[in-house]
Amino acid sequence: MTSGQSRMRLAARLHRVMLAAYPAAFRRRFAADIQRMFEARLAGARGRGRGAAAVFVALECADVAWGGLLERFAPVASHASPTPRKWRMSVETTMADVRFAFRLMRRSPLFTALAMGALALGIGATGAIFAAVNAVLVRPLPYARPAELVMVWSNNTNAALPRNPVSAADYVDLQTMNRSLAGLEAAQSFFAPAQFRDGAGEPLSIQTSQVTAGMFDLLGRPPVLGRLFQPDDQNVVLLSYGLWQRRFGGDRAVIGRTVDINLQPATIVGVMPADFTFPYRTMLGPSGFSRAQFADVWQPLVFQGRFYQNADGSLVRQVRGLGLVGRVKDGVTTSQASEDLSTIAASLAKAYPASNAGWDATVLPLHEQAVGTAKPALLLLLGGVSLLWLIGCANVANLLLARSVARRNEVAVRRALGATRWRLARQSIVEGLVLSAGGGIGGVLLLYAGIPALVALAPPDTPRVSSITPDLTVFVFMFLLASATGILTALLPAASAAQSDVQAGLKDAGRGTTLSPARKRVRAALVVGEIALAVLLTTGAMLLVRSFVSVMGVDPGFSVDRLLTFQINAPRLPNPAAFQEYYDRMFTALDAVPGVAATGGTTRVPLGSTNVTTQVSIEGRDIPAAQLPEVEFRRALNNYFVAMGMPMLRGRSFTREDGVLGVAQPACVINQAMQQRLFPGEDPVGRRVRVGPNPQAVWLTIVGVVGDVRHGSLEEMPKSEMYISGHLSPPSAPYIAVRSHGDPGALAEAVRRAVWSVDAQTPIYDMKTMAAMRSESVAERRFVLTLATVFGVLALFLATSGVYGVMALIVSERTPEVGVRVALGATRTDILNLVVGQSARLGLAGIGIGVAGSFVLAPLMSSQLFGVQPLDAATFAIVPVILLAAAILAAVMPARRAMQVDPVVALRNN
Amino acid sequence: MPFRAADALLPLTPIAFEILLALLEEDLHGYAVLQQVEQRVGRTLPLRTGTLYRALARLLDTGLIEEIDAGDRAARTVKVHEDDERRRYYRVTPLGRQTAKAEALRLEDQVSAARARKLLPGGKR
């Protein structure tokens, strides 16, 4: 469904809901006709543009709602069943209450602005975070009956790695032997970059995803154009909606056209819908050649080639590169499917011990796989913003309470004239609702500004981040939230109005500025509560700040400054010797650029790429194939270690001789982590290892041990890595590292020219300094930190203004008392201590409760912390000091006013 | 007596009068009534669906118009805009005709008074 059609459906639904305003008899007669006419006229209005249509819908719905109410309560003819008099009175008095509330608000604009502002902040911020939670975590995935879909991994119990891709042979066995799944399909567990040519225009770099022919049928989404894959399809391709728009302008004649993908022809057979994403980046395995987020095209996965087929044509079992998606049968649960597949995995382990011993299967809901990583951070933010909302509510409740005191005599007069308690309470609630309605509208405006900002700030890795929009669910949530806010903030003033003492109120005509002791306690409790909540938020924010500082302080194992990196696609050359020559010339050109200290290349640059792993056999150790240790595998070109600033701890690095093709003793370098894991306490130099369990593979001699680096992120511990010379086995899309003497950014142009001097067609992309890359690698942490800090600052601000408001009131209440004290000889300092002391007492009470709460709640944050304990001493010491300072600061101005009290005036007015 | 009953329902609201005018020519269903009225006075009298149907309900209840049975439709000269049996057709009753005439006479009288006071051109005291 297009977005236009869904908007029409939404408008029709809204109109139908509004029809409920009419009485039942009227509805029986006319509702169907009215709805039908509305929809017909809406189609006409749409033809005049979206704006005209929106205005039309608004006016029609308003007319229906208003007309319906009129029919109910003020019918001209008696065809409607007569509504009880009470109902009509109710509506009229509520309208009167609303009008009264508006009058009150107009009379005290500052108060109204403050209250609505605080509410708008709370409601808007909560709405924005809720929209994110809704879009990322709650909304179902864009597949048919998504709750039935599961993700299947292989579970390497030998190395405690539960989410490993699956091999082709294991996939086929799981597919044929399972009894719990209605279908099981496979996708490559990574995106593969490719060159896309369609005859018109420049070649385009795209991301491809290969899936088995039945995958999209399993997911249950039909294409918007053309057809899906069929079982024997080869050399065909499905386009993503985005690519179809970008490259073909949405041309519907694209079906049947032939394009080139990596110089292989492929026929376009279909286009997938705009909201369709598969696989999500979070569904990919740890390996991968790029950090792309979406597939641009899909191709059928065929089990051919050396990753999938053995020499004898049987399917490969020990190379694992597939992610599996399954749909459970009717009535089958995920855990039942998990048991079923585990049983099959166990039988495979018995049948093929060399490759499968110790390998189990992991099954989890697809939704959790897609969004599970984002859950802790988002829920933390939702919790934080809810606290902010509560502080806003407490603030406004205090404001309303203060104002209700000022109106005590008005309330008393109304009671004397016969108003019931409920009537008075209702008026307070209506006032609260009107205020919160205004706050809600302000919150919606904030939402429209806030959501784009949120999306822009969010790390690009966040799953489904582009689908965070304000939609009906969000608006319903905000409506409910605003209503709850109105009722919550009005509860205390309502109770206060209902319990007012008529006699006292009438006697106190004119001033009425003192509160009963009970209400004073309530007021103090509200402020103490605000401070406690502010303590919670500030503590959380400070823990995150310290974690961030910790992460940025991590030594990545290489030198971050003065390092420029980029990726290239080497030209398609016929043989390794040609590649060698190409790289020789390129590095010579790069080394010659003035300002360059050292250059090198690698297949995986730290903090900027994913991984590829391999199993290694160690000479002299007899380990069954299934239990061979797994290490990260990298290739190093030129002076990679020097360029990166990675220290050689033992032995030597690669030399020119190691890169000569056909060298007698091929060399490899391992890192310290691998040495400590596989050769603890020994000198590994001189030992030999082999990649994979294949006995025909060549032995590599360890020539050196290099220092560890943090590869995936600064927070991950270094893993075992081994490097071979990239000149022996030249990569096609390496990352190049250039260490400069000065500013690395200044070399960008010269470096590009150097690369193009060797081959003018070489695509260069993702050129950035390592400092920028490090900054990007902590994008998610920075996102959560930024929001948490904003919440913390806002909470501090709201709490401080809450304290200020209350202290100002208290000072004005105690003016006579201050006058007496001054008359009896108190100095200005004594008065200052009096006021500030009271504020400090409130502050300390709030801080005490807040700190106790933090003790309980901070451990819930542990997943977001790094290098700092949840009960971090420094944080728990600093935050109370900040809050106490805020409470004292808030009392300064009221205190000064108190110090200027003239005892004569004060006593006279008593 | 019918005339007296018609008198009792004056003055008609502008929208009720327009609906009667539209139906005087031929029997119409709801959407057609709306279109006719919109054509005539759409610019000065914005017509909301809900308001239209409330006015229709009023006219039905006071007996100025009636709903036509589906069978009846074929017997009269009814312009069938769409072959849609679910649509309700409305017909003006004799009372409605008289009331519309009475309203028109009332308006004419008012307009004459306005002309006489030179509010509109063409007046004679």
SS (H, E, C) B70-102: HHHHHHCCCCCCCCCCCCCEEEECHHHHHHHHH
A34 reaches B (C-beta below 8 A): yes
From B14, B1, B18, B10, select the one nearest B92 (Cα to Cα).
B18
What is the token pair recorded at A406?
Answer: 């000022």
From B41, B49, B48, B43, select the one nearest B17 (Cα to Cα).
B41
The distance in angstroms from the start CA to the end CA of chain B is 35
Peptide bond between residue A870 and the one before it cis (omega within 30 degrees of 0): no
CA nearest to A65 within chain B: B50
CA distance linking residue A505 with residue A518, whole number of Å: 16
CA distance linking residue A798 with residue A252, whole number of Å: 56
Angstrom distances, CA of residue A634 to CA of A639, A720, A724, B82, B121: 14, 11, 7, 73, 97
Stretches where chain A sits below pLDDT 50 are 78-82, 289, 510-512
Which residue from B31, B49, B57 is facing A79, i.e. has the nearest CB?
B57
A67 reaches B (C-beta below 8 A): yes
Which residue from B50, B86, B87 is facing A64, i.e. has the nearest CB?
B50
Mean pLDDT of all residues in B7-13? 79
Which residue from B31, B61, B88 is facing A40, i.e. has the nearest CB?
B31
For residue B31, the chain A residues in CB contact (below 8 A) are 36-37, 40
Q: What helix, strand, coil percent values describe chain A, rounded to 5?
A: 55, 15, 30
| Interchain pair B49, A64: CB under 8 A | yes
A33 reaches B (C-beta below 8 A): yes
The DSSP element (H or E) to which A617 belongs, if any, is: strand A613-618
A56 reaches B (C-beta below 8 A): no
From A421, A412, A420, select the one nearest A506 (Cα to Cα).
A412
CA distance linking residue B36 with residue A895, whole number of Å: 73
Q: Which residues, in sequence order, are bridge partners of residue A149?
A: A327
Mutate to test the interface with B, among A19, A27, A41, A69 (most CBs of B within 10 A): A41
Burial class (CB in 10 A: 0-12, 13-18, 19+), A418: exposed
A432 reaches B (C-beta below 8 A): no
CA distance linking residue A807 with residue B78, whole number of Å: 78
Per-residue confidence (pLDDT) for residue A85, from 0 to 100 = 62
Residue pair A328/A339 in contact by the 8 Å Cβ criterion: no
Peptide bond between residue A286 and the one before it cis (omega within 30 degrees of 0): no
Coil, strand or helix at A349: helix
A839 residue type, one letter: S
From A221, A226, A139, A214, select the one nearest A181 (Cα to Cα).
A214
What is the token pair recorded at A114?
Answer: 């403050």
The DSSP element (H or E) to which A120 belongs, if any, is: helix A109-133
| Interchain pair B49, A41: CB under 8 A | yes
Per-residue confidence (pLDDT) for residue A294, from 0 to 100 = 84
pTM of the model: 0.72
CA distance linking residue A317 with residue A314, whole number of Å: 9
Region of residue A691 (phi > 0: left; psi between -120 and 50: alpha; otherwise: beta): beta
CA distance linking residue A255 with residue A549, whole number of Å: 53
Residue pair A213/A230 in contact by the 8 Å Cβ criterion: yes
C-beta atoms surrounding A281 within 10 Å: 20
For residue A30, the chain B residues in CB contact (below 8 A) are 53, 56-57
Burial class (CB in 10 A: 0-12, 13-18, 19+), A799: buried
CA nearest to B46 within chain A: A59
Q: Does A274 or B71 have the greater pLDDT score?
A: A274
**Does the structural domain B10-93 have CATH classification 1.10.10.10?**
yes
Chains A and B: how many Cβ contacts under 8 Å?
Answer: 52
| Interchain pair A30, B57: CB under 8 A | yes
For residue A79, the chain B residues in CB contact (below 8 A) are 57, 60-61
A48 reaches B (C-beta below 8 A): no
CA distance linking residue A735 with residue A568, whole number of Å: 7
Render A475-534 in DSSP notation, one character per residue: HHHHHHHHHHHHHHHHHHHHHHHHT--HHHHHHTTT------HHHHHHHHHHHHHHHHHH
The DSSP element (H or E) to which A188 belongs, if any, is: strand A181-188
For residue range B33-69, list pLDDT tens digits in order.
Answer: 888 888 888 777 778 888 888 899 889 888 899 988 6
For residue B34, the chain A residues in CB contact (below 8 A) are 37, 41
A20 reaches B (C-beta below 8 A): no
For residue B58, the chain A residues in CB contact (below 8 A) are 76-77
Residue pair B60/B52 in contact by the 8 Å Cβ criterion: no
A790 residue type, one letter: V
Mutate to test the interface with A, among B39, B48, B67 (most CBs of A within 10 A): B48
Residue recorded with tokens 């004056």: B10
Per-residue confidence (pLDDT) for residue B1, from 0 to 100 = 36
Residue recorded with tokens 């999938």: A308
Which residue from B31, B53, B61 is facing A79, i.e. has the nearest CB?
B61
Residue pair A23/A69 in contact by the 8 Å Cβ criterion: no
> CA geometry: angle at A689 spanning A684 and A694, to 5°?
165
From B85, B102, B84, B86, select the one nearest B94 (Cα to Cα).
B102
The DSSP element (H or E) to which A415 belongs, if any, is: helix A408-416
Mean pLDDT in chain B? 80
For residue A26, the chain B residues in CB contact (below 8 A) are 57
CA distance linking residue A225 with residue A250, whole number of Å: 10
What is the token pair recorded at A796?
Answer: 């501090």
| Interchain pair A77, B53: CB under 8 A | no
Chain B nearest C-alpha distance from A61 (Å): 9
Check pLDDT > 60 for residue B76: no
| Interchain pair B57, A63: CB under 8 A | no
From A755, A748, A784, A758, select the one nearest A865 (Cα to Cα).
A784
For residue A64, the chain B residues in CB contact (below 8 A) are 48-50
Angstrom distances, CA of residue A235 to CA of A278, A302, A795: 20, 10, 59
Residues in chain B: 125
What is the token pair recorded at B34?
Answer: 């709306």
C-beta atoms surrounding A786 within 10 Å: 14
